[in-house]
Amino acid sequence: MRKPFFTALILSGLIARAWTQQEIRSSLQSVELNKNWHFREASGQTWFPASVPGCVHTDLMRNGLIPDPFFGTNEQQLQWIGEKDWIYQTTFDLPADLLRRDSVELVFKGLDTYARVTLNDSILLVTNNMFREWRRECKALLRKRGNALTIRFGNVFDENLPRYRNAPYPLQAFDNNDQAKIKIAMYSRKAQFHYGWDWGPRLVTCGVWRPVLFEGWSSCRIRNVRVIQESVNNAEADIASSLQLQSSTTQRVRIHVSADGLALSDTMTVLQKGFNSIVLKGIIPNPKLWWTNGMGSQYLYSLRATVVTQNGYTDSVTTRIGVRSLKVVRGKDSVGISFFIRLNGVPVFMKGANYIPQDNFQNRVTPERYEFIVKSAAQANMNMLRVWGGGIYEEDLFYDLCDKYGILVWHDLMFACAMYPADEAFLGNVKHEIIDNVKRIRNHPSIALYCGNNENHAAWYGWGWKELYPPAMQVDCERDLRKLFDEVIPEALNETDPTRYYQHSSPIAGFNGIPPVQGDIHYWGVWHGKEPFEDYEKNIARFVSEYGFQSYPQLSSVSKFTEPNDRELHSPVMLSHQRCMADERRDKEYGNRLIAAYMKKLLRSPKDFDSYLYASQVLQAEGVKMAIEAHRRNMPACMGSLYWQIDDCWPVASWSSIDYYGEWKALHYYARRLYEPLLIAPRIAEDEVSVFIVSDRLEPVSGELQVRVLDFEGREVYAFTSPVSVKANASATYIKLRKGDVVGRNDEARLVMVSRLTSGDSTLAENLTYFKYPKDLELKRPEIKVEVTNGRDGYEIHLRSNTLAKNVYLLCEGQEGFFSDNYFDLLPHVARRVEFMPKKEIADIQHALKVFSLVDSY
Contact residues toward ligand BMA (CB under 6 A) are: 197-199, 416-417, 454-455, 522, 546, 644, 655
Which H or E run includes 262? strand 262-271
360 touches 351 (CB < 8 A): no
> Least distance (Å) from ligand BMA to the CB of residue 644?
5
> Least distance (Å) from ligand BMA to the CB of residue 739?
36
> Least distance (Å) from ligand BMA to the CB of residue 411?
14
> Least distance (Å) from ligand BMA to the CB of residue 457?
12
> Least distance (Å) from ligand BMA to the CB of residue 586?
15
What is d(CA 478, CA 469) in angstroms, rounded to the nearest whole number? Answer: 11
**Contacts of 169 by beta carbon, 8 Å cutoff, 6+ apart:** 469, 473, 476, 477
User: Cβ closer to ligand BMA: 199 or 561?
Assistant: 199
What is d(CA 391, CA 360) in angstroms, rounded to the nearest whole number? Answer: 10
How far separated are the first and last CA of the chain, in Å rounded? 69
User: Cβ closer to ligand BMA: 414 or 417?
Assistant: 417
> What is the distance of C-alpha 51 from the center of its chain?
26
How many C-beta neighbours within 10 Å does residue 227 have? 22
User: Cβ closer to ligand BMA: 149 or 416?
Assistant: 416
User: Cβ closer to ligand BMA: 178 or 403?
Assistant: 178
User: Cβ closer to ligand BMA: 106 or 544?
Assistant: 544
User: Cβ closer to ligand BMA: 405 or 655?
Assistant: 655
User: Cβ closer to ligand BMA: 451 or 493?
Assistant: 451
**Contacts of 855 by beta carbon, 8 Å cutoff, 6+ apart:** 779, 780, 781, 782, 805, 806
- The residue among 608, 605, 630 whose CA lies nearest residue 619 is 605
CA distances from 671 to 381, 614, 674, 854 (A): 8, 17, 5, 19
User: Cβ closer to ligand BMA: 132 or 457?
Assistant: 457
> Least distance (Å) from ligand BMA to the CB of residue 500?
22
389 touches 414 (CB < 8 A): yes
Q: What amino acid occupies position 714?
A: G
User: Cβ closer to ligand BMA: 416 or 427?
Assistant: 416
The SS3 call for residue 481 is helix
> Least distance (Å) from ligand BMA to the CB of residue 174?
7
User: Cβ closer to ligand BMA: 295 or 353?
Assistant: 353
The SS3 call for residue 146 is coil
User: Cβ closer to ligand BMA: 455 or 566?
Assistant: 455
> What is the distance of C-alpha 617 from the center of its chain?
21
The SS3 call for residue 428 is helix
User: Cβ closer to ligand BMA: 287 or 391?
Assistant: 391
> Least distance (Å) from ligand BMA to the CB of residue 323?
33
User: Cβ closer to ligand BMA: 520 or 663?
Assistant: 520
Identify the DSSP state of 226: E
Helices (H) and strands (E) in the chain, counts: 19, 43
User: Cβ closer to ligand BMA: 416 or 691?
Assistant: 416
> Least distance (Å) from ligand BMA to the CB of residue 643?
11
Instruction: Please give the backbone phi and psi of residue 337, each rounded to the nearest 5 degrees, phi first.
Output: -120, 125
**Peptide bond just before 49 cis, omega within 30 deg:** no
What is d(CA 685, CA 739) in angstroms, rounded to the nearest whole number? Answer: 9
> Least distance (Å) from ligand BMA to the CB of residue 261?
44
User: Cβ closer to ligand BMA: 313 or 644?
Assistant: 644
> What is the distance of C-alpha 844 from the center of its chain?
38
- The residue among 528, 511, 645 whose CA lies nearest residue 584 is 528
> Least distance (Å) from ligand BMA to the CB of residue 552?
16
**Peptide bond just before 636 cis, omega within 30 deg:** yes
> Least distance (Å) from ligand BMA to the CB of residue 582?
7
> Least distance (Å) from ligand BMA to the CB of residue 645?
7
> Least distance (Å) from ligand BMA to the CB of residue 6?
50
What is d(CA 806, CA 602) in angstroms, rounded to the nearest whole number? Answer: 13
Burial of 2 (0-12, 13-18, 19+ CB in 10 A): exposed
CA distances from 562 to 556, 577, 581, 608, 817 (A): 10, 10, 21, 17, 21
User: Cβ closer to ligand BMA: 417 or 799?
Assistant: 417
Identify the DSSP state of 570: T
> Least distance (Å) from ligand BMA to the CB of residue 355?
12
Q: Measure the CA angle with vertex 533, ends 656 and 657; round to 5°.
A: 15
> Least distance (Å) from ligand BMA to the CB of residue 813?
33
> Least distance (Å) from ligand BMA to the CB of residue 545?
9
In this structure, the dihedral spanned by the alpha carbons of residues 355, 356, 357 and 358, taken in order and rounded to 10 degrees, is -70
What is d(CA 390, CA 108) in angstroms, rounded to the nearest whole number? Answer: 22
The SS3 call for residue 117 is strand
In the chain, what is the greatest distance between 2 CA atoms, to the nearest angstrom?
A: 92
> Least distance (Å) from ligand BMA to the CB of residue 551?
13
Write out the E strands in 751-847.
751-759, 762-770, 784-790, 795-801, 805-812, 817-819, 824-826, 832-838
> What is the distance of C-alpha 182 from the center of its chain?
29
User: Cβ closer to ligand BMA: 308 or 580?
Assistant: 580
What is d(CA 441, CA 383) in angstroms, rounded to the nearest whole number? Answer: 18
In this structure, the dihedral spanned by the alpha carbons of residues 26, 23, 269 and 11, taken in order and rounded to 10 degrees, is -80
User: Cβ closer to ligand BMA: 197 or 823?
Assistant: 197
Three-state SS string over 408-427 comes to EEEEECCCECECCCCCHHHH
